[in-house]
Chains A and B, each alone.
Chain A
Amino acid sequence: MNDYMTYVWIAYGVAFAIIAPVMVASFLKNRALKKRIATLEKDGSNDP
């Protein structure tokens, strides 16, 4: 172990901080879109 490990932890942290939000946002948007489509389909089927 030496001072260089600080650079290593920051590098891994930055990589995680960039990729994880992109991943989570994509999955959340997927869920929201599926819900919206399901609601619209349900509304459509209730139309006279």
Chain B
Amino acid sequence: MSTPFSQKLFSLANPARFTRISRPLLWFSSAVGAVLLVWGLYLALAGSPADYLQLEAVRIMYIHVPAAWLAMMIYTSLGLAALSFLLWKHTLAGLYIHAAAPLGAAFTAVCLITGSLWGKPTWGAWWVWDARLTSVLVLFFLYVGIMALSDAFDNKDRGLRAGAWLCLIGIVNLPVIKFSVDWWNTLHQPASVSSFSRMADPAIHEDMLRPLLAMAASFICIFISIIIVRLENEIMARRLEIMELERTARA
């Protein structure tokens, strides 16, 4: 059933091969991410106009929305990694779940807190139990649950398997987050950019779209840089465990 493409894809899941390609990719994503972050921050804080209704508060959008997109992207990648780990027992996929879950939780926390700081001046409330906000809070708890489960067992593989199952179960929350603003009457506004119907004709002026996309791209590059380092850490920690066992056996 294996095709040359799937063989190539699976060969990348080898920790030794990953370590060889990770360094150049890390330098590239860090450099691109730094440039985009500086440019994005300039556009977000000074180079874009204030909104006619929300005034300066609209500038929170340039970190809130990229954090929300990234929180969902990371969870999607966790779901794929969980599938790969449970079906094909790819070591790197299991390590990815352990490395990426705290990052997903961090970006979801950024999304929730900046959303709250945006909600106060625009809605007049820090928090409402609205479908979108509640489903993103559930996403945060899922990330925390995956982190806790992955470390809850003495046998690390068993912990990763439990975390992977929770990743798969939590996938059901992603469409709820995405379509909550369409399925229910919510305070949260519907998608302006990230729906298929809106992609070609975004409901946002290009002066605001430019910083939004620059910040989103920089967040993605920052995530790639951190995840590469965290995956290297996971691989090195496993190697270190083996080396210390060998050392103890020799002594």
Contacts and interface: CB of A to CB of B under 8 A. Distances in A.
B195 interface: no
Interface residues of A, number: 29
| Prevailing SS type, chain B contact patch | helix
Given A14-B117, A40-B240, A47 B250 contact: yes
Interface in B13-68: 45, 54-57, 59-60, 63-64, 67
Given A26-B226, A27-B229, A33-B233, A14 B114 contact: yes
B247 A22 contact: no
Nearest to A22: B106
Interface residues of B, number: 38
Interface in B110-133: 110, 113-114, 117-118, 120-121
Interface string B210-238: 00000000000010011001101100110
Interface of A: 1-5, 7-8, 10-12, 14-15, 18-19, 22-23, 26-27, 29-30, 33-34, 36-37, 40-41, 43-44, 47
